[in-house]
Amino acid sequence: MYRTIQRTAQSARKPAGGYCFINATALVATYTAYRQNIIRLFDLRVWLACHELRARRCALGKGQRPRYTAEELHGLVGGVGGEHLRKSVRRLEGAGLLVWQETGLDLTVDTSKQPEWFWQLLEVKLTLVQNTRRRVPVPRRVLRMLAMGTTRAKAATVLGHLLRGLYYRNGQCVAGGTCKASWVAAVFDVDLRNIKAARKQLVDLGWLVLQPTPQGRLNRWGVSFTINLDWSSAPRLNQELKAPPPERLSTTGLPPLINNQELSTRSKNQEPATRRPRTGVWKKTEKQGTPSLRDLQPADLSDPQRLTELFRQAQREGLVMNSECDRLRFFGAAERARCVATRNPCGLFATLVRRQLWHFITQRDEDGARNRLKALTHTQGLPSRRSRKTRATTLTATGRRLDGSSCMSRASMRTIELCSPMGSAHRRTQVDPVPASAVLAAAGLIH
């Protein structure tokens, strides 16, 4: 691998635009703090911008003192600035990654401001990085690019390739190495597909140059690459910038026809198509057809007569029996679907009936079903339970039917209900048989 790096590496005294030394452990620790939600992505950009601020003052003469302002920092990171920028600096100071002073910046990582679990996690990450004590010569143009705006995957891809392919040896910046996308994903905890997409974007920008790599070496060490030390975020000098073409003169006339031929006047096969049933929302003015289990409508669940027709269809299909119990269940399922369902009551009703899910019906649903059955009984003109009870009472008291005919042959067998003066009913007792004539005479019907 070392021979391959030497053959494909690019070296220069410094990258175009200069460089800034950043400790490898600090790079991994800062990004890990971001991934553990200790700091934010904006704080990571501010931290990189602080390195650029310190690099601008590396050539101060004797007697000169640096001065750092929030306005200069805002010019590197952009955004709203103001209080947002000050909060970001305070978060970095709380994480032990920055000490901001007007006369100096301290970017040394403070190990006393992080919990124990963070350093244990960082040790696991650093085991994947070789020579964590070295200083990485990060190009200042790359710092400004990341500080101005970046994504999580793009920042991880740039930092990973800087760790794997940029060194400072014998006074020279050596750019070149191998890197696997899976290694970057493991160290910086980023999705593998996003790493590959970000690497393709860096290749398109011209900052990363991929080299042909044998498949065996590609599987073990990753793709060979070279970092372009002459890269600039500005447009390339050899790229010819052309102005857009001028707009064509517009006229007030219509454009010419594509085919200037007269339309055909033939009337062959011009008969209108057959009328199809209209689709859309049903209106109340339209007449409803016969209800069907295969095409349920919301109005079917509220109309007792239409529910009765649906009950007959379900009986023919074998879903229910012709009994009062199944009729009550069927109407109760309609009540359940109408009261509970919010989007598709017809679908819920069909599911309850076809799957026999009667145990979902509550007592409240059964009460509503009974009320609808009573309303259906009155609508069809059938005698109610109260009318039948009155008829039986009349027959017992008078001994005659309503049509004036005589009582049954066993009408003499009666039960007499004796009542106390307080109105409480005593136990019924059976008396001896009495002739029918005596009963009628006692009632005042005959003399």
Q: Do 221 and 317 share a domain, yes or no?
A: no
139 within domain boundaries: yes
Buried b (16+ CB within 10 A) or exposed e, 220-251: ebbbbbbbbbebeeeeeeeeeeeeeeeeeeee
Cα gap 138→134, rounded to integer Å: 12
Split into its structural domains, the chain has a count of 3
Q: Do 420 and 362 share a domain, yes or no?
A: no
Q: Do 68 and 101 share a domain, yes or no?
A: yes
447 within domain boundaries: no
Burial of 376: CB neighbours in 10 Å, binned 0-12, 13-18, 19+: middle
262 within domain boundaries: no
Q: Do 358 and 389 share a domain, yes or no?
A: no
3-state class (DSSP) for residue 18: coil
356 within domain boundaries: yes
Taking only the tens of pLDDT, the chain with its 447 residues reads: 334 444 467 888 889 889 999 999 999 999 999 999 999 999 999 999 999 999 998 888 888 888 999 999 999 998 888 899 999 999 999 999 999 998 889 999 988 888 899 999 999 999 999 888 889 999 999 999 999 999 999 999 999 999 999 999 988 999 999 999 999 999 999 999 999 999 999 999 999 999 999 999 999 989 999 999 999 865 443 344 455 566 555 556 666 666 666 666 666 665 655 555 555 555 554 456 788 888 888 888 888 888 889 999 999 888 899 888 998 999 999 999 988 888 889 988 988 998 888 888 999 899 988 988 888 877 665 444 444 444 444 444 444 444 444 444 333 344 333 333 434 334 444 445 555 555 445 555 455
CB 399 within 8 A of CB 436: yes
Q: Do 353 and 414 share a domain, yes or no?
A: no
CB 330 within 8 A of CB 320: yes
154 within domain boundaries: yes
Q: Do 354 and 430 share a domain, yes or no?
A: no
Residue 61 pLDDT? 82
Q: Do 8 and 32 share a domain, yes or no?
A: yes
353 within domain boundaries: yes
Q: Do 393 and 342 share a domain, yes or no?
A: no
Domain that holds residue 205: 2-227
258 within domain boundaries: no
Which of 192, 227, 262 delimits the end of a domain? 227
Q: Do 116 and 222 share a domain, yes or no?
A: yes
User: Can you give the three-state secondary structure of 302-354, one letter per residue?
Assistant: CCHHHHHHHHHHHHHCCCCCCCHHHHHHHHHHHHHHHHHCCCCHHHHHHHHHH
- Biggest CA-to-CA distance, the chain: 146
Which of 205, 227, 249 delimits the end of a domain? 227
Q: Do 118 and 80 share a domain, yes or no?
A: yes
Which of 203, 227, 251 delimits the end of a domain? 227
Residue 245 pLDDT? 64
Q: What share of the chain is helix, strand, coil (3-state, %, to 5)?
A: 45, 10, 45
Residues 6+ apart with CB under 8 A from 325: none
CA-CA-CA-CA torsion sign (66, 68, 73, 75): negative
233 within domain boundaries: no
Q: Do 341 and 420 share a domain, yes or no?
A: no
Q: Do 182 and 61 share a domain, yes or no?
A: yes
